[in-house]
Amino acid sequence: MMRYLCSHTLRADLLRYSIHVRSISSVLRAHSAPYPQRTHTCGSLSTGDAGSRVILTGWILPERKVKTINKSFFHLKDSYGTTQLLVDHVENTCYSVLSNIPVESTVLIEGVVSLRPTEAKKPGTTGSIDVIVDSVTLLNPAAEDIPFLPSNPHNLPNDELRARYRYIDLRRTPLSDNIKKRSKVAHIVRSVLHNQDFTEVETPVLLRSSPEGAREFLVPARSSAGADTGPKTPVFYALSQSPQQPKQMLICSGGVDKYFQIAKCFRDEDGRKDRQPEFTQIDLEMAFVSWGETSMPDSLHPGWKIGGGEVRDVAEELVRTIWKDIQGIDLPAAFNVMTYHEAMTRFGSDKPDTRFGLEIINLNDLVNPTENQTPTTSAADLVLDCIVVRKSGDRGFRNASQAAEAIHPSTERVTLSETNRETWLLHSTAASRALSNMGVTEQVVVNKALKLKTGDQVWLNARPRTLSGGSTALGRQRLQIFELAQSRGDFVVTTDPHFLWVTEFPLFTRDDADKEHLSHGRWSSSHHPFTAPMWEDIDALNRGEVEGVRGQHYDLVLNGVEIGGGSVRIHDAAMQEYIFTNVLQLNKTEKAPFDQLLHALQCGAPPHGGIALGFDRIMAILCHTQSIRDVIAFPKTASGTDLLFKSPAPVTPAVLKEYGIVAAQLS
């Protein structure tokens, strides 16, 4: 019997039946016959439904007995919410059935909605009602040895076990809510972009391997590039790192003026909490974007000197709509803009967190050694940076600064006292490296300019004058103090979102470890090789003065996290060829994957640009979680493995042979 009508006539039979049941899940089977359809979800009932007869379906949760009234409460949960069920021990034979059904079994409940007493009401839509049960249908019993109970938030297993049984973990309300919120945001994205006349286009996932940046995933194909005779030559697709080439050629074609896609991307990167081997980005590209300032500067974005303003405006409108509809927050009409140089000098990061102070100060600007003495060559190449943590003005950071450890061996921390306040800089190793011939006069200038007092702490580091990479030593030190102050409870950061555009990045770099496997000591592109230089720097580029060339690259940063990046693209085939050959020094084989793009640029390609917003990172922020794995239905672990589907996995030698691949012999 799978369906139990809890009436007086059946009560005795059911009680006798339950006596003989050792394990109801081993005796009862899934209900494989017609059953009535639900009338409501477990999150939809309210006081307005009082007196109504309803049918609910969901997962049964643990019983809560109330001995004083001889009744029990059960909770029934589905993906929409939870409804409390009320069952009488004496008058209602459904109790003997429900109490023997394993927790997390799926059931169908029929009953009548009843109002709770005033003192028993709880918050939420269903918090003021109960369902008096009069019929139970066991749809599918759960195993009694289920790996863990997702309904118990206080006793969750470790990440590995939950990943192995992700289909159970997804039953938890926080994860279920994250997935539904992700769907809502995707709908908003499509609505906003469709309203702005963007065309959604799917681009290929299987492409050709190309040296664009990150490591790729290769997919073997059975077709061979070799001759009909002799051994097969293995050939491979590469999973798309991003739709970069397809979307550019789509715009070059002229068939689509404004493209977008919620795109799957694949990169064989080291695992981190904010990265996955497969991830999703909101990708868009536009034709005829601007190439820099015109005679009418942008009054809303006075710091924006590059092109791509059209892309920026679309991205801002998209983000504003998401935050308004999902968070109920009105964002400003325009986001702040900061150049890479300003971000690195003030905050020591190319994605600065502007929610707190502790800004970096350039002491060379205060002392100006070029006017006071002739600096040595080594000193001329260095800049002395400092962070001041004031005893009175930075109370939230004072203890954290004292407890923090130096991020870099050359970083110094000085606590000012009555005995060293007038001489602390004169005894600094960092100062002696960056400011040659320091004297008492310079010490007085610095103390006065910084308004230093006894008890203040000063962090010092001498950095290269030419900025590169994503952070400086003091930038990392600043974040360590901030995070330590938060963990100690000394500083509570604002909940207001701080959006920021960072622009004018160096176009080329030798300081990106992630790209060294491709560049091998050569210049590599800071963003990607299709990023256009600022028009003012084109002459320097042509002269080979690569280091100082700035790119029309823009990153969107939120609270110190990069959530998107894009650029104005090169639409001049000659310039693109020059960068491939003369700057990046790609050989013929390395350039071959870009032949079709170069030809597309020669066929009347319009100026164009775009951006990719990290969908997973945005969702992690909106869902208030530290890991993007919490907003992806079936994520990989930090090591890139899938414990649920057990991938990646080996294949047999016979399968490899089909692809012309010989298995390596392991010693």
Predicted pLDDT at 49: 96
Lowest-confidence region among 69-73, 74-78, 529-533, 629-633: 69-73
Average pLDDT over residues 175-192: 98
β pairing state of 508-509 and 561-568: unpaired
- CA 37 to chain CA centroid, Å, is 39
**Model confidence at 25: pLDDT above 70:** no
Average pLDDT over residues 366-373: 57
* Of 555, 544, 470, 476, residue with least CA distance to 512: 470
Predicted pLDDT at 397: 95
| pLDDT tens digits for range 248-285 | 999 999 999 999 999 999 998 776 667 889 999 999 99
| pLDDT tens digits for range 294-344 | 766 677 898 999 999 999 999 999 999 999 999 999 999 999 999 999 999
| pLDDT tens digits for range 49-68 | 999 999 999 999 999 888 77
| pLDDT tens digits for range 396-422 | 999 999 999 999 999 999 999 999 999
| Confidence label for 5 from pLDDT (cuts 50, 70 and 90) | low
| Confidence label for 8 from pLDDT (cuts 50, 70 and 90) | very low
Look at residue 87 and tell me if it is in a domain: yes
Q: How many CB atoms lie within 10 A of CB 359?
A: 14
Look at residue 538 and tell me if it is in a domain: no
Average pLDDT over residues 24-28: 54
CATH code of residue 84: 2.40.50.140
Average pLDDT over residues 379-408: 90
How many domains, in total, are found in the chain? Answer: 2
Average pLDDT over residues 444-461: 94
Domain end (from 440, 467, 493): 493
Positive or negative: CA dihedral 625, 629, 632, 634: negative
Predicted pLDDT at 4: 54
Domain end (from 140, 170, 201): 140
Predicted pLDDT at 515: 64
For residues 660 and 667, give the distance between their C-alpha atoms in angstroms, rounded to a whole number.
22
Strand partners of residue 386: 361, 460
**Model confidence at 369: pLDDT above 90:** no
**Model confidence at 165: pLDDT above 50:** yes
Predicted pLDDT at 437: 73
With residues binned 3-state (H G I as helix, E B as strand, rest as coil), the percentages for the chain, rounded to 5, are 35, 25, 45
Predicted pLDDT at 272: 66
Predicted pLDDT at 657: 87
* Of 90, 273, 121, 106, residue with least CA distance to 639: 273
| Confidence label for 185 from pLDDT (cuts 50, 70 and 90) | very high
Look at residue 459 and tell me if it is in a domain: yes
For residues 109 and 77, give the distance between their C-alpha atoms in angstroms, rounded to a whole number.
11
β pairing state of 199-200 and 258-266: parallel
For residues 526 and 24, give the distance between their C-alpha atoms in angstroms, rounded to a whole number.
62
Predicted pLDDT at 439: 86
Query: In whole numbers, what is the pLDDT of the chain averaged over residues?
Result: 89
Average pLDDT over residues 101-126: 94
**Model confidence at 19: pLDDT above 70:** no
Is 219:239 a contact under the CB 8 Å cutoff? yes
Predicted pLDDT at 9: 36
CATH code of residue 434: 3.30.1360
Predicted pLDDT at 152: 87
Domain end (from 78, 109, 140): 140
The amino acid at 167: Y
Predicted pLDDT at 16: 38
Mention every residue, 6+ apart, whose C-beta is less than 8 A from residue 665.
Answer: none
Look at residue 321 and tell me if it is in a domain: no
| Confidence label for 225 from pLDDT (cuts 50, 70 and 90) | low
**Model confidence at 550: pLDDT above 90:** yes
Domain that holds residue 71: 47-140
* Of 152, 107, 151, residue with least CA distance to 133: 107
Lowest-confidence region among 42-46, 198-202, 210-214: 210-214
Look at residue 364 and tell me if it is in a domain: yes
| Confidence label for 229 from pLDDT (cuts 50, 70 and 90) | very low
Predicted pLDDT at 391: 92
Sheet strand arrangement including 278-287: 199-200, 258-266, 278-287, 608-614, 561-568, 553-558, 499-503, 336-339
Predicted pLDDT at 191: 98
Q: How many CA atoms lie within 13 A of 550 on its CB side?
A: 18
Sheet strand arrangement including 235-239: 206-207, 235-239, 218-221
CA dihedral 554→558→563→564, nearest 10 degrees, is -20
Look at residue 13 and tell me if it is in a domain: no
Alpha-carbon separation of residue 301 from 347, 533, 536 (angstroms): 20, 20, 19
Average pLDDT over residues 623-631: 94
Is 534:504 a contact under the CB 8 Å cutoff? yes
Average pLDDT over residues 228-255: 87
| Confidence label for 23 from pLDDT (cuts 50, 70 and 90) | very low
| pLDDT tens digits for range 482-502 | 999 999 999 999 999 999 999
Predicted pLDDT at 409: 92
Is 168:148 a contact under the CB 8 Å cutoff? yes
Look at residue 202 and tell me if it is in a domain: no
Average pLDDT over residues 422-435: 90
Look at residue 278 and tell me if it is in a domain: no
Strand partners of residue 238: 207, 218
* Of 583, 602, 606, residue with least CA distance to 529: 583
